[in-house]
Structures are given as C-alpha cells and as structure tokens.
Structure 1
Amino acid sequence: MVSTVLKDHIADRCKQYWLLARFDRPIGTLILLWPSLWALWVASNGKPDIRVLTVICLGVILMRAAGCVINDYADRDFDPHVERTKQRPIAAGKVSPKEALWVFVALCLSAFALVLLLNIYTILLSFVAAFLAASYPFMKRYTQLPQAYLGIAFGWAVPMAFSAQTNSIPLLAWVMYCAVVLWALVYDTMYAMIDKDDDLKIGVKSTAILFGAYDRHIMAVLQIIIIGLLTSVGQMAHLGAAYYTGLVVAAGLSVYQQKLIFNRHKALCFKAFLNNNYFGMVVFLGLMIDYLLH
C-alpha cells in the first residue's frame, strides 16, 4: 500500500515537472534549436563535430526547459490572472515555488555538465547564457522590450555554437546573432499579442503593448531586416543557390505570418507564432542542402 502511494506520488511529481518544463510543448525548443543548427553548420562548413552537435542540441533542450521553469516561477503571481496560463503547474498550485527552483537548478547543472565537454571559451560563454536565461522572465516588470531581451538570450546559442566548433566568434557569427535576436523579437511579439488584453490589466509590459497600432508595421520592417541580415550571412559564408532559395521561402513565410496577424485575432496570432518553426526549418534546410551540394 505504502509502495503504491509512493509510486503514485513520484509519478505525479514527474508529470508536473514535465509540464512545468514544457516538455509537452516542443515548439519553444524547436525555435531555439534552429539558429543553433544554422550556426553549427556555417561554423563547420556543413560538417559539425558530432560531440559538439550532441552537446549543443541537448543543451538547447535543457536550457529551454530551465527557462520555462524560471519564467513560471517569476510569473507565479501573474499567471493565475491570465486565461492562457492559469493552469500552469505553479499557478494551479500543483508545484510549489520552492520545488520549481530546485527543478531549475537541476536543469541548469545538467546543461553545465554537458558544456564541460567543450572548450574553455564555450564554458565561459555558458555563464552568460545562464544569466540571460535566469534574468529574462523578470524583464517584463522593468522594460517595454522583454521580447528583445528574450532574443538576446535565445540568440546566445549562436556565438556558443561557433565557439564550440571553432574556438572563435567571427563577425559572421555576430551578424547571424543580430538576425536571431530580431527574429525572436518578432515571433515573441506575435505571441504577446495573444495576452495583450490580460497584460494591460495586470500591468505586464510587452512589445505588443509598446508597438500599439503599429505592431504589424514594425514587425514587417524587422522581418525585412532579418532576411537582409541572413542574406549577408550567405554572402560572408560564400553560400550558394540552395541557401538563398531557403531564404526566399522564409520571406514567403514572413508574408504569410503578416497575413495571419492582420486582424490581430488571438488564434491566428498564435498560428503565426507557430509558423516560425517552419521559418527556422527552411533556412536550415537551405543551409544543409547547400553544403551537401558543395
């Protein structure tokens, strides 16, 4: 009897921690993973070191999960008042804030253990990554640009991938980093448009609120800049037709996303956010095919 109760308790804890880390919603992991793969493929000329590739991919999974956990911890007083988030484990009272902090620490330590398999340069950069991941959730209290800060945090996978593969961070890497920062700003603004009404009520800041009636226009300009920066990456890396074909498709997806958010319907804004997974994927496919054809 005691054994059954204990097993049920452990199973429930595992389930709640799984939900807390958003392992049931891989979209965030995929959107973070694509730029990491862009960077690794360019840094390695299409032939990434298997150990580096494995560590970067697993690190992305763990740090995205850690980011979700600390985000819910930071928003524990806000989430119960937002329709989309009120059933999250902490907001629903199924996981205590103290438990969440332990889960966050465990995920970060696991990611750090992986990074120890890489060079010193990348290990040092991992401390910046951890700081960005831990501090991002609190930015919505102090700045109207938390989505830009998310971009800075998510994009940090780019210089880390270059440093892990080549032990250096060339100018090309920083151009790609800027593209990723702006890309995250765009897709997270689409996401923030869903919660705009609730955020206004509870006093949470976001670019969706800051941009106001010009949200679509500003995002359109940013999307053009992103394609421009990625084009510059292609020129600097001497990439060919397959890569640029991927960028053309990515530009088409950006136009489609603009169509989805045109009337700012919440369901369509969420669909536009999800569509960014395909944006990241087609850029990577263009890269991969281009290097295979070389």
Structure 2
Amino acid sequence: MKTVVAAILILMFCIRGGEPIPEVSSGEIRRLSSFPSAFISSRNVDIWLPAGYTADKEYDVLYMHDGQMLFDDNITWNKQEWGVDEVASALMRDGEVRDFIVVGIWNGGSEYRTIEYFPQTPFESIEKVKQDSILSVFRSNEQFKLADKPMSDRYLKFLVKELKPHVDSTFSTNQGRENTFVAGSSYGGLISLYAICEYPEVFGGAACISTHWPGTFDTKNNPIPDVFLSYMREHLPDPATHKIYFDYGTATLDSLYPPIQQKADQIMKEKGFKKGKNWVTKKYEGAAHTETDWNARLAVPVTFLFGK
C-alpha cells in the first residue's frame, strides 16, 4: 500500500511541477514545486530524505545549490550528476556521518544563476568602471551570463528567510547552526562561502567545491579574486563555531584556481582556522570541472561536515 501511495505522490509532483522528479537509488525525493519567493523567481526545490526517514527523530540539513544536477543524470542537461543520494546513503549506512537530509535548490537558469550566486558585497566594492567592464565580459559570453549586477543578497534572503523556515516546519530537522550546512561547486562554491560569511548565525559549515575564484574566465588583469579575498579577510565567521571546506582540481576550468586558493588558505590561517580541524583544503590532481569529478570526491566534504 505504501508503494502505491508513494507512486501516486510522485505522479502528482511530476504533473504539478512540470519537470520530472529525479529517480534515486536510496531514500526519496519530496519536491516543492515552483516554490514562491518575494526575493527571487520561483523555482523547484528537491528535498532528499534518507531511507527510513521518520518524524520520530531530527535530521541535520545540507542546503545545496544547482539542485537539478544532484540526483539523476537521466534528466540533467549534460547527463552527469553529483550522486548525492548514493554518497550520503553509503556514509550513513556505514555510520560515518550523522543522519541528514539534502535540500536541493534549483538554480534560476542561465539568465539568473550567475547573478544569484555571484557574491554581491565584493562585487559592489569594485570601482564602477571596472564593474561595467566585468559585466560586458559576461554579456558577451553565451554560456555564462551576468546580464545585470549580482543579486546574491536577495538569493540568500530567500534561502534564510523563506526556504529554511518552510523546511524546518515541514520536516523533522535539527534547526541549530551546528546542524545546518551549505554546499555547492564553481559559482555554487562562491555563494556557499558568501552564505556562511553573511549568515554565520544560520550556517555552521560550508563546502566550497571547485570554488570559481576568478569570477570570470581569465585571471589576467582581473580584480575579482582580490576583492573576494579582501571580503574573506573581513567577514569570515568565528573559527570556534564554524568549519569550511575547499577543494579544487587541476584540469579544465579548475586549472585557474590553485594560485588563488593558496592565498585564500593563507587568510584562513590568519583568521584562526586550523587545517584538519575546522578547515580543509584539498587538491585533486587531474580532476576537471564536472559533476562526475565532484561526485568522485563528494564523500570527503560530506564527512567533514557531518562526521561523528
């Protein structure tokens, strides 16, 4: 009977949302279809619940960006996925991590993803003429668009003031900062770092995977990395109550990251973070900027955040 009810619910979600529900190998997906917001455009949110989820206990929560890429490569644009359900399920089954749910927030599409994920305060610290130059570079790029100034402050307000309260009131969650984490890759890595810096009272940890430090696609005469690093220096959260994970590969777009990440690591040290304790930076030789590569090492940041 439960199987029949679950099948009916999935069908209802599919019809209402207009997009197929990801198929997962373990646990289940609960979709918030076209979740409304006063701050950004409405969008789907896919919430993964581990096998055996019950309201009789409370679960930690991982908020992840680019939610449409997390669970099912049959419905992603590039036929790749993070494999979040497989990785999380295996770690929980083996007793490596605390039980948690995953809130996969869909990005707003090519017209919105960059402006929602690009940290706003650092961008606004750049002088106006250079801001305009950066915007013109993005507008000329067909794949990655920054059609207007960043609106990541609004995106984070949606996440903190609208989505999190709904998740906490609907599901059985541990609501404290020490049980609430955020993760993403590339621009998703940037917005994850920005989230823990802007809302240190909400997020106790962040996983910033293949963090796109250059902001654009060239490091030459590029002011963006320096303003990001300056922002870090001024806004990193308290290392006594927070933990941050970074990683990067050495192939494709990730090949731009090592020199900037080294500077970020120095700031982490200066601000009192202890490597291996409340901070990790890992280099993955030969790894590229793809979901397949991120899946291959996802267990590392997940264990760092949720490890017992």
TM range (shorter): 0.3 to 0.5
More RCO (CA 8 Å, sep 6+): 1
TM-score (norm 1): 0.34
Higher share in helix: 1
Which has the higher Rg, Structure 1 or Structure 2?
A: 1
**Which structure shows the bigger proportion of residues in strand conformation?**
2
